[in-house]
Structure formats: C-alpha cells, structure tokens
Amino acid sequence: MADRILVFYGSYRSDRTGIRLANYIMAGLRALGAEPELIDAKVVGLPMLDRMYKEYPAGTAPQAMETLAGKIRDADAFLFVVGEYNWNVQAGLKNLVDHYLEEWAWRPGAIASYSAGRVAGARASLAWHGILPELGIAVVPRTLTVGSIGDALDAGGVPTGAGGAALEKAFPRFVEDLAWWTAATRGARARGVPGSS
C-alpha cells in the first residue's frame, strides 16, 4: 500500500521560492512510490481563523475546510515545507493548521525548512517542533534544511550548485525516516489509540 502523504506549503508571497522545495519533495516522494498531494495554503484559501472545523455544526463548514478535513483524516503522514518569517513561522501555514485539531492525531509529520539565507529556516523548524505535537502529530526527528534556496533549486525544482547537492544527499534518509514512522504509526493506529475504547 502506497503511503498517502500530504505535503503542506504556506507562503502567500507573489514571488515564492519555497514552492521549489515543495515541488522537489513531491517529485521525490512519487519516485519512491508514495502518493503525495500538495496542500498549498494560498490555494486552499481558508479565512483567518474564527471558528475551528470542529466548531461548525456537521455539514455547515465551508467546502474548502470540509474537503481538507477529509484529506487530513485519510492521510498516512504529513510533511510540512516551512519558511521562516522574522525568526518564526509563516502566518499562512499556521492559520491553515490551526483550523483543525483531532483530524491530525496519531500520524507522523516531517519538517523541511528553507530560507533565502544560510540559516535555512532552522528557527521556523524549531517552532514547528513545538506546534505539531500539540496537534497530536508525532514529529519525525530528522529534518531537512535548505539555505539560500534560490541557489539550491532552480525555478523547476531541480537541485543546483553545492546547496542542491547537499539536498540530494540528505533527502533519501529524510524520507526513509518518514516512511519508518508512517509504518510504525499505521500499525499502532490499527491496534487502537488512547481514548478510543
């Protein structure tokens, strides 16, 4: 059975370079036999958080929110492609994530961070390491970081230069770890989760 992986990306900027990393990851996951789907927060277009999905009476949530809730529930794993704004997370992705709670639980989440500079989004990655467990997501310890993203990946998501070479070297182990956690949590969910009996 192919792993169903939702790849989340959250920049709302008109000139987005992080999408290059999201596209690289999507292609890499497909090549390994997974079934990834890109969830672009800008495209989904959820409003600023007023009510969480669970706070709507059944059948009354906006259609985009309802559709995404089903995709989150059906996924085997999540992969978050995160940029760094002012030493912290991107508002667009955080807003999307905060619309849901129980839907995320008991699945793994991997973090791939990027930035235009050499820090490679490490501070945003660190922040997401605190956010995701609060949602019930088991954060995969291994992360992927891409600095100077405009030099590491071209517009088509093809690795270039030394940064691209480093990405290609790190990516296989990153997705291998995600696959391990995906299998482990799938087996655990099949045996039952706390509070379900």
In this prediction, residue 122 has a pLDDT band, given cuts at 50, 70 and 90, of very high
177 lies in some domain: yes
196 lies in some domain: no
Q: 75 pLDDT exceeds 80?
A: yes
68 lies in some domain: yes
* Predicted local confidence at residue 116, as pLDDT: 93
* Predicted local confidence at residue 2, as pLDDT: 95
Q: 194 pLDDT exceeds 70?
A: yes
* Predicted local confidence at residue 165, as pLDDT: 98
* Predicted local confidence at residue 197, as pLDDT: 64
pLDDT tens, 178-192? Answer: 999 999 999 999 999
* Predicted local confidence at residue 7, as pLDDT: 98
Average pLDDT of the chain? 96
In this prediction, residue 45 has a pLDDT band, given cuts at 50, 70 and 90, of very high
Number of H helices, E strands in the chain: 7, 6
80 lies in some domain: yes
Q: Does residue 26 contact residue 34 with C-beta atoms inside 8 Å?
A: no
Q: Does residue 17 contact residue 150 with C-beta atoms inside 8 Å?
A: yes
* Predicted local confidence at residue 30, as pLDDT: 98
197 lies in some domain: no
Q: 195 pLDDT exceeds 90?
A: no
64 lies in some domain: yes
What's the structural domain count of the chain? 1
In this prediction, residue 1 has a pLDDT band, given cuts at 50, 70 and 90, of confident
Query: What's the mean pLDDT in 131-146?
Result: 97
Q: 196 pLDDT exceeds 90?
A: no
* Predicted local confidence at residue 52, as pLDDT: 98
Q: Supply 194's token pair.
A: 């706390």
CATH classification at residue 126: 3.40.50.360
Please provide the distance, in angstroms rounded to a whole number, between the alpha carbons at the two ends of the chain: 27
CA 87 – CA 168 distance, rounded (Å): 26
Q: Does residue 110 contact residue 78 with C-beta atoms inside 8 Å?
A: yes
Q: Does residue 45 contact residue 51 with C-beta atoms inside 8 Å?
A: no
Domain of residue 58, residue span: 4-191
Q: What is the helix (H) or strand (E) element at residue 94, kind and residue range? A: helix 91-98
